[in-house]
Each structure stands twice: as C-alpha cells, then as structure tokens.
Chains A and B, each alone.
Chain A
Amino acid sequence: MGGKLLEIKDLVVHFFTEDGVVKALDGVGFHVNSEETFALVGETGCGKSVTMLSVLGLIPIPGKVINGEVLFYDEDLRHELGIGGSGPVDLLKLSPELMNRVRGKRISLITQDPMTSLNPVYTSGNQIMEVLTTHRGVDRRGAESETFRLLESVALVPPKQIAEKYPHQLSGGERQRVVASISLAASPNLIIADEPTTNLDVTVQARILELLLELKERFRTSLIMITHDLGIVAETSDRVGVMYAGSVVELSDVFALFKEPLHPYTKGLLEAIPNPRKRRKGPLKSIPGSVPDLIDPPEGCRFHPRCELASEICREDKPELREISTGHYVACHHV
C-alpha cells in the first residue's frame, strides 16, 4: 500500500433548492491511499454519494461546491494535463475540459443500479469502446480487441457475444460486470463504487464484491466503496470513514473500527446489526430519532439530538476530527 492518492479537505457542498439551501456536505475531510480499499459508510442522505460526485465534478444542479479541496496526488497528472507547478492537483479547480481528461481516465465510477446505469440504446461493447477511444487514443480495431480483453477480465465470456448484446439482454450481475469493465477500461488510479451491489440479488452480490476486490488487486488501483452495509465494509475494506448528516464523524482502519468504535453514531450502527450467533435479550437496538433535515440542520454537532451523551457543548460547538490513536480519528466532544 502506498502513500496518499486522494485527499478531500473541508468540503462544503450546498444545494440551492426552492425550499431552501440544503447543506449537504459540511466540511468533509478524509484521504485515500493508493491501492487501498476505503469504505465510506452512512445512512441514505448522509452525503456519501454527493462527496463522490464532487470528486468527479458531477454534482447535479442546483448543487454547488462552496468550499474545500479535492487533491489528487499523482506526479504525472500535472504533466499529462499540461499544467505547470508541482504538488497535488486540486480537481475542483480544473476546467471542465481538463476534468474530462481525469474522469474515466484517472478516476472512474461504478454506479449504484446496474439496471439503469447502461444506456439502453447502445450495445455493451459500444459503451466500453467509447472509453478506450476517448482516453487511450486507440483506433476502432484496437478498441475492439481491448474491449474483448476487458470483458474476459470481468469473466464475461464469450466476449464477442456479450459485446454485441444490448443491456436489456443481460442479467443484473452481467450488467454490473459490464459497468466494472467500463470503469477499468482506461486503467484508472481510483475506482469509486457507489453501492455497487445494493440492487443486485443476494446471491450475485458476493460474486460482484469478490470480482471488484480481485480487479483492484490485479489492476493495482484504489477503490472507494460507498455503502450503508457494514457487512460489506468488514469484508472488503482497509480503512473506513463513517459519515453522518454531511460530515465524517469517524475515520479509522477497519479492525479498530469494529473492535473499538468511538463515535456514539458508529456504536449505534454496530449495535443495530443483528448477530445470529449471540442470543439477544429484548429487541434489536436502534438509534432513536431520525436523520436531520439538512435545510435546517441542528447547531453544533449534527448528531446531538439523537445522542445519549449530548451535553451543552455539543449543542453549541461542532466537534472537529481528532486523532485518538494512530490513524483513528473521531469527531466527538465526549471521547
């Protein structure tokens, strides 16, 4: 595992809707090392996907990045894009044209729902090939043989037949494999997988996860796994970021997080998982209350209305991420 590849610093994203300003991200910060799997966990609406879309520069209208940096650590990138200077490149400052040369090429995306993420009117081969012709400057014939190779690497055989098929002729698992091969096509440094298995049959989920990890090893990329499933986190990741209502509340390597969760929200999440091996007394624990309205979020720590430990300071002051032990950060006044 190498040094830093991607670092997000103090990212603030607001959505200017008709009902008011949705403060979707409120100072998100974490980093991802090269060749590691980083999991971003949290409930629906906590800002996981928005964080990743801002990395790709694809926040939908009316969203806007208010503050922050998305730093990409790669010596070649400056040279490749023809921009001077040194050090990491702030992706948020790139022009749309330059960003197009990062998207798909350096950072690629695996979207949530394989049923809707492929364009229904083009063959799967066409949709893989366009990445190759856009980023690798290969001609049609070269792109075709490369496409077959990619399809083989995601275990879709025979590749020629799969390439000629339209998305509706493929199963959910097959489609997600096609999406995976699209994400690999330009050999990126980082793949962002946004809940890649949520919409798949349980039997297929495990196989897709295995495939992603195997590909990540083979192609030596980093993987950001966005999920709300702590089971997937435990099985796949090296490090974890836990998000709540637009900020990262805990950041740790996966073993420390499961062994010794620090933030009350993380503890709540872990306690809410049923454990079939343990006999449980009483009902399964749940976190009281519900996710706050991000148009008018709670002052101070956004978790305080649902937190058992909440005190005066939590209502007034937003806790910063502090390092408690090596590599284990938490944003809570009571740790």
Chain B
Amino acid sequence: MREYIVKKLAIAVIVLIGVYTITFVLTFMMPGDPARVSMGQFGNPETVKLIRQRWGLDRPRYVQYIKYAGSFLKGEMGMSFRYDRPVLDVIKYRFPRSAYLGLWGILFSIVLSIPLGIVAACKQNTPLDNAAVLFSQIGRSLPSFWLGMMLIAMVAVGLGWVKVVPEVEPGRLWSFSGFFTSLDDYILPVITLGTGLMATTTRMTRSSMLEVIREDYITLARAKGLPERVVILKHALRNALIPVVTLIGMQFLLIVGGVIITETVFGINGIGRLYVTSIQMRDYPVVIALTLIYAFGVVLINLLVDLTYGWIDPRVRLR
C-alpha cells in the first residue's frame, strides 16, 4: 500500500517535469510578446526592451527554462509579469475561492445525485423515475453560463434572496464554520457548477444500479429475507458505486473548465479567471504555475480514485 503510493508519487515527479517542459515550450511558442502586451499597441520600443530585460525574456530559452525550474523548486514559482509579485502570492489569494466553489459543486452533485439515482433505479419506469431521467436530461443540456445568468436574473436580482457577487473573504471560506455559512453567498455559483455534474452522476448511478440489481447476488440477498433497505444500500449500492467513483474522479478534473465559466459569470476573482487573463496577457510564469498545479491535481485525484476503488472493491485491493 505505502509502496504503491510512493511509486505513484515518484511517477508524479516525472509527469510534472514533462508537463513543465511541454507547457514551457507551448507558452513561448504562443504568438505575442508579454512585454509588448503589457505596454499596449503604442508602447515605446525602448521601454519594451527594458521590460524584456527585467523579466529575463532577452536571455536564451534554455536559461529561462532552468531559471523557472529553479524558482519552482524554491517554491516561489517565479514573478508574475502582470502583477509584479511572486506567482505564489497571486495564486494563494485566489485559490481558496476556486477550491471552495469546486468542492461544493461536486459535494452538491454527489449528495443529490446518488440518492436520486438509487431511487430512480429502484422505482424504474414509474413517474418518479421518469421525472429523474427528465431532470437529468435537462440538467445536462443546460449550458452553465446560461443557467448562471438565469439564476442571477431570477434569484439574485428578481427575488433578491442572495447577492449577485459573493463577497466572503477568501480566508473565511476554509474556516470550520465559514465552510458552511459562506454557502449563503456561494449558493448560486455552486448550483451553476453542480447541476451539470449532478445530472451526469444521477444518470450513471441509475444505470449502474439497474445493472447491479439484476445480479444473482441481489436475488440471493433478497432470498435471505433481508429488508429491502439492506439489499439496496448494503449489497447493491457498493457494487454500483464503482463506475460512479470513476466518473466523480473525472469530474474533479473536468471541473476546471466549469469553474472558469462560473467565475466569469459571477465575477468571482478565482483561479479560473486568473488562468484565462494570464493567457491573454502572456503572463507565462502564472500560466506555467497553474498548469503544473493542475497536473499535480490530476495525479493526486487519480491516486485517490485508485485508493477508493480498493476500499470499495476487494478484487482490486492491493496486496
């Protein structure tokens, strides 16, 4: 077990070096010069040259490659061109909001979709099931930017129940009580982000449950005289969750795209928006840092999914 985790993390280091190299090459292949972008169309060529010198852009590529790598190893992740501050500071300020939004989006999805999927499967072809299927079909078809704007228009502006733009301090979000109370502010972004996820997970849970409840071991569990609750929650659910865990793991990764859209719609100053503006402004250090963080997240989530498999299904448990 420990050996497995260590091995995975060792692989992660290689992955990160690869991702760093590719991102480095790609960002510098992007057309556009950060110095020119920052000075605007009519910037003084002399000033642009000075800026290039200051950011080290006049040095050979391989020197820059090593210099960035060095600053990552030191942990400060270089200096942001745009903010003129260490990248780490820039990210540290925004990350809590995005992580909060992302985590709640997925929690919202899991908490609602799995029970809904179970109930729909157990009551297959009843009005309840049809409603769940219809709901998940609609949820999947709604683009999140549209849903977000509708929620703002109707719930925030129309009914005035919540603020349009969440105002909670990033520091409070991850305190024990703040984690729950801040949801008041974040409820609309969370719904916007979570609805699509929830629809997919509901569908997956339902179809996976439907498959499992036809298995022989479910017939045997019923023949044992176990109450229906035990048959479903103990015997069927755990088996049905195996593909759902894969899906949720993937959602953790795909959610970055959703976070970018949601943050833009709700004006949340988070990682997603930082990513987009950094690319626009050719703020290479930030782009590279965010890509690396994302890559590390992918490795970590995959590891967690693997461990969850082992916990759910003894057949894939590691010796």
Contacts and interface: CB of A to CB of B under 8 A. Distances in A.
Interface of A: 53, 56, 58, 60-61, 96, 99-105, 108-109, 111-113, 116-123, 130-131, 134-135, 166, 168, 179, 182, 186
Contacts of B217: 116-120
Interface residues of B, number: 24
A108 B312 contact: no
B216 A56 contact: no
A116 to B, nearest CB: 4
B313 A108 contact: no
B235 A119 contact: yes
Interface string B203-233: 0000000000011110111111111101000
Given A104-B225, A135-B225, A111 B219 contact: yes
B215 A116 contact: yes
Interface of B: 124, 214-217, 219-228, 230, 234-235, 238-239, 312-315
B224 A182 contact: yes
25 contacts: A53-B219, A56-B223, A58-B219, A58-B222, A58-B223, A60-B214, A96-B228, A100-B225, A103-B224, A104-B224, A104-B225, A108-B223, A109-B220, A111-B219, A116-B215, A117-B216, A117-B220, A120-B217, A120-B239, A122-B235, A130-B226, A134-B225, A168-B314, A168-B315, A186-B225
A135 B223 CA distance: 12
A105 B124 CA distance: 29
B315 A118 contact: no
Contact of B223 (A104, A113, A116, A123): A104
A263 B216 CA distance: 34
A108 B239 contact: no
A105 B225 contact: yes
A96 B222 CA distance: 11
B312 A121 contact: yes
A135 B238 CA distance: 23
Contacts of A117: 216-217, 219-220
A121 B221 contact: no
B227 A100 contact: yes
Nearest to B237: A121
B220 A179 contact: yes
Contacts of A131: 224-225
A117 B220 CA distance: 6
Contacts of A109: 219-220, 223
A106 B228 CA distance: 18
Q: Most chain-A Cβ atoms within 10 A of its Cβ — which of B224, B230, B314?
A: B224
Contacts of B124: 61
Given A61-B124, A113-B216, A121 B314 contact: yes
A111 B228 contact: no
B233 to A, nearest CB: 13
A285 to B, nearest CB: 34
Given A56-B223, A121-B313, 8 more contacts: A99-B225, A100-B226, A104-B223, A109-B219, A109-B223, A116-B217, A134-B224, A135-B225
B18 to A, nearest CB: 36
A156 to B, nearest CB: 17
B236 to A, nearest CB: 9
A109 B214 CA distance: 16
Contact of A104 (B226, B228, B235, B313): B226
B314 to A, nearest CB: 4
A122 B233 CA distance: 13
B225 A102 contact: yes
A272 to B, nearest CB: 29
B274 to A, nearest CB: 42
Nearest to A115: B216
Contacts of B235: 119, 122
Contacts of B315: 120, 166, 168
Contacts of A111: 216, 219-220, 223
A104 B224 CA distance: 4
Nearest to A185: B224
B196 to A, nearest CB: 30
A40 to B, nearest CB: 17
Contacts of A120: 217, 239, 313-315
A56 B219 CA distance: 10
Contacts of A186: 225
Contacts of A121: 238-239, 312-314
Contacts of B313: 120-121
